[in-house]
């Protein structure tokens, strides 16, 4: 991987400052290969909300539960961190009730300064992922970082660079890589059991309601250190109903649904295709429909990643005005479809199957004939604990090759979600037929657009009136600049960001 700096991305000669905002710990400790009898001391950063709409229990809270499920791991939870005192107190009490003695911090820098912490689990909002991971690597700690691995493409490269420079084990939270179901299916797919791969489809179908609007600003909860919550992002008055979880739908802190759940399924598609780099071309079609709210990111999106010879097509659906109107594709409401010469795989970590190709449009017809089943043997229930256990095994061995979702894979899969968002942000809203005319030469892409249009029509949305955004067609380069072609200059700044002192991702990690 060639090093790329923000200066290269932006095509300017002016460098940003190297404000680190860190205690004097950057030399780090030497990597230790813990013996099986020596506990790995872990801190979890970011507890998450168990009450915010869509929060699903709080990611840090969930991962703490999974850490406690790892059998015979000799992993010890020693510290917890959250900028929301209420969230922190909740988890400290749970730990205390279990007889666990943990340090509690609101500022993660205190954890990085603690020589009694060996590894950290990062379950923060996206805008904090890079800096937390880089600071951890610099302080000699290994990192398990939730998806999306990064908030921007440039940050992902800096995270990989830090992992390499400090010889840290860094695992991305794309746990489907640890699924026995998918491991078996992908082994057969890549072994040619269904013939040549034609295309891969990532289905991110998750019904969500709008987040509404507010007049003016909303008070930040008194329990939150808002300066630390904002971190690298601008510290602005809160302009939405909820601080927690709704950050996903704003560019300064989140990456939309494609960045929220897209990394899981795009990662599986990329794994099946054997693609370990970015695609040469990218296009997005989509918008934010149905809900007149204050969110910024698309809630309906079609992303085309033009890998050769088989592209990845990601379909994002959040809109379901009518019950059950989220729709399906080949009787799937999520997961992946890998189309091959002699059949296709449809499934997820909870199970899947090979099917014969029928040549149909696969809208509402009966299912195709199943030719091989990949049933769930019960392992999917423990998949997160399995993925964490894989991380800790590598922490002990100091062998990066043992990681099932190593930092570089996390970075590439996250970037495959950032690129369609960049395309979208540079695009134009057009009538449906104008968009159809652009995509009609590619059969898979045209079919996917027809499905998107039909899905929205089922929810009462006419794309000739509520126009979708046809994104800028991005062409990627392999050199000092990330982009080439007519949109390169406009796209480059969106591959990075401006930081707020002292929370600056350094150019030299």
Cα 498 to Cα 501: distance, rounded to the nearest angstrom: 10
Helix (H) or strand (E) holding 425: helix 407-425
Cα 294 to Cα 179: distance, rounded to the nearest angstrom: 37
pLDDT in the model for residue 24: 41
Contact 114, 138 (CB under 8 A): no
pLDDT in the model for residue 445: 97
Question: Torsion over CA of 297, 492, 172 and 27, rounded to 10 degrees?
Answer: -130
pLDDT in the model for residue 71: 82
Please name which of 331, 327, 324, 323 lies closest in space to residue 365, comparing C-alpha atoms: 331
pLDDT in the model for residue 358: 66
Based on its alpha-carbon atoms, the radius of gyration of the chain, rounded to whole angstroms, reads 22
**Cα dihedral 177, 181, 186, 187 sign:** positive
DSSP conformational letter for 262: H
Q: State the SS3 of 177-210.
A: HHCHHHHHHHHHHHCCCCCCEEEEEEEEECCCCC
pLDDT in the model for residue 363: 42
Q: Where in the chain is the domain with CATH 3.40.50.720?
A: 6-177+383-405
Fold of 6-177+383-405: Rossmann fold (3.40.50)
For the stretch 363-368, contacts whose Cβ atoms lie closer than 8 Å and that sit 24 or more positions apart, written own/partner, are 363/451, 363/454, 367/330, 367/331, 368/330
Show Cβ contacts of residue 99 under 8 Å, excluding neighbours closer than 6 positions. Answer: none
Q: What is the largest CA-CA distance in the chain?
A: 65
Cα 491 to Cα 360: distance, rounded to the nearest angstrom: 38
Q: What is the model's pTM?
A: 0.93
What are the mean pLDDT values of the chain's consecutive 10-residue runs (509 residues total)?
Answer: 44 32 45 72 94 67 95 91 98 98 98 98 98 99 99 99 99 97 97 97 97 96 98 98 97 99 99 98 98 97 98 98 89 95 95 82 62 89 94 98 98 99 99 97 96 96 96 89 96 98 97
Class of residue 456 by CB neighbours under 10 A (exposed 0-12, middle 13-18, buried 19+): buried
Cis previous bond, 256, omega within 30: no
Please name which of 333, 337, 367, 369 lies closest in space to residue 352, comparing C-alpha atoms: 337
């Amino acid at each position: 991987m060639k090093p790329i700096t923000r200066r290269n991305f932006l095509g300017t000669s002016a460098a940003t400052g190297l404000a680190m905002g860190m205690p004097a710990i950057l030399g780090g400790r030497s990597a230790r290969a813990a013996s099986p009898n020596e506990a790995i001391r872990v801190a979890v950063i970011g507890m998450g909300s168990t009450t915010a709409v869509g929060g699903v229990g709080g990611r840090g809270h969930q991962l703490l539960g999974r850490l406690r499920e790892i059998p015979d791991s000799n992993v010890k939870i020693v510290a917890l961190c959250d900028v929301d005192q209420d969230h922190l107190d909740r988890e400290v009490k749970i730990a205390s009730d279990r007889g666990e003695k943990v340090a509690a911090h609101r500022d993660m820098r205190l954890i990085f300064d603690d020589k009694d912490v060996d590894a950290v689990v990062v379950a923060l909002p996206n805008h904090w992922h890079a800096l937390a991971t880089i600071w951890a690597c610099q302080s000699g700690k290994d990192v398990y970082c939730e998806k999306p691995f990064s908030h921007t493409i440039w940050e992902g490269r800096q995270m990989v660079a830090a992992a390499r420079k400090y010889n840290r084990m860094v695992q991305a939270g794309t746990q489907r890589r640890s699924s026995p179901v998918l491991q078996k299916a992908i082994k057969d797919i890549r072994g040619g059991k269904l013939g040549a791969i034609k295309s891969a489809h990532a289905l991110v179908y998750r019904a969500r309601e709008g987040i509404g609007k507010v007049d003016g600003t909303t008070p930040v909860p008194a329990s939150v250190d808002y300066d630390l919550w904002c971190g690298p992002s601008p510290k602005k008055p809160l302009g939405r109903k909820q601080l927690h979880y709704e950050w996903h739908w704003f560019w300064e802190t989140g990456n939309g649904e494609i960045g929220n759940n897209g990394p899981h399924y795009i990662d599986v598609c990329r794994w099946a295709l054997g693609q370990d780099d970015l695609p040469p071309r990218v296009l997005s079609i989509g918008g934010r429909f149905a809900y007149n709210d204050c969110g910024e990111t698309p809630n309906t999106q079609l992303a085309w990643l033009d890998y050769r010879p088989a592209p990845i097509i990601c379909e994002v659906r959040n809109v379901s005005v009518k019950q059950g109107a989220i729709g399906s594709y080949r009787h799937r409401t999520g997961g992946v479809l890998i189309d091959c010469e002699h059949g296709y795989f449809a499934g997820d970590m909870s199970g899947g199957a090979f099917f014969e190709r029928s040549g149909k449009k696969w809208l509402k017809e009966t299912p195709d004939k199943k030719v091989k089943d990949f049933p769930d043997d019960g392992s999917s229930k423990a998949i997160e604990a399995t993925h964490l256990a894989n991380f800790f095994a590598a922490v002990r061995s100091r062998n990066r090759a043992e990681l099932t979702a190593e930092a570089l894979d996390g970075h590439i899969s996250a970037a495959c979600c950032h690129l369609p968002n960049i395309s979208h942000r540079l695009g134009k809203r057009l009538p449906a037929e104008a968009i159809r005319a652009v995509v009609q030469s590619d059969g898979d892409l045209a079919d996917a657009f027809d499905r998107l249009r039909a899905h929205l029509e089922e929810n009462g949305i006419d794309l000739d009136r509520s126009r979708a955004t046809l994104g800028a067609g991005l062409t990627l380069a392999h050199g000092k600049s990330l982009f080439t072609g007519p949109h390169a200059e406009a796209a480059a700044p969106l591959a990075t960001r401006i930081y707020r002192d002292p929370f600056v991702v350094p150019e030299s990690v």
